[in-house]
Amino acid sequence: MVNCKSSNCKIIWLFAAMMMIIACQPQQRTGSCRVYGSVSDSTMEGQRIVIEPLDMSKTSVKSDTVLVKDGKFETSLDSVMIYKVMPAEGTLYSVLQPVIIVAEPGNVWVKLGVDSHSGGTAQNDTLEQWKILTEAHSHVYNQLRAKASMASEKGDTVLAGNLQKEADSLHFKYSARTRRMADGVGKGVLYDFLSRFFR
User: What are 19-30's pLDDT values in tens digits?
Assistant: 343 333 444 444
Q: What is the pLDDT of residue 110?
A: 97
Q: Does the pLDDT at position 172 exceed 70? A: yes
pLDDT (0 to 100) of residue 153: 95
Q: How confident is the model at residue 32 (pLDDT cuts 50, 70, 90)?
A: confident
Neighbours of 195 (CB within 10 A): 14
Give the pLDDT of residue 199: 59
What is the structure's pLDDT at 108? 96
Contact assessment for residue 51 and residue 3, using Cβ atoms and an 8 Å cutoff: no
**Which of 79-93, 111-125, 154-168, 178-192 comes out lowest in average pLDDT?**
79-93
Closest CA to 108 of 74, 81, 78: 74
pLDDT recorded at residue 171: 94
Kindly report, residue by residue over 36-90, the tens digit of the pLDDT: 999 988 888 888 999 999 887 777 788 889 999 999 999 999 888 999 999 987 7
Q: How confident is the model at residue 31 (pLDDT cuts 50, 70, 90)?
A: low
How many CB atoms are located within 10 Å of the residue 33 CB? 24
Alpha helices in 87-156 (DSSP H): 122-153
Computed over every residue of the chain, the mean pLDDT equals: 84
| Residue type (1 letter), 26 | P
DSSP state of 40: S
Confidence bin at 124 (pLDDT 50/70/90): very high
Predicted pLDDT at 162: 97
CATH architecture of 28-120: Sandwich (2.60)
DSSP letter (8 states) at residue 63:
P
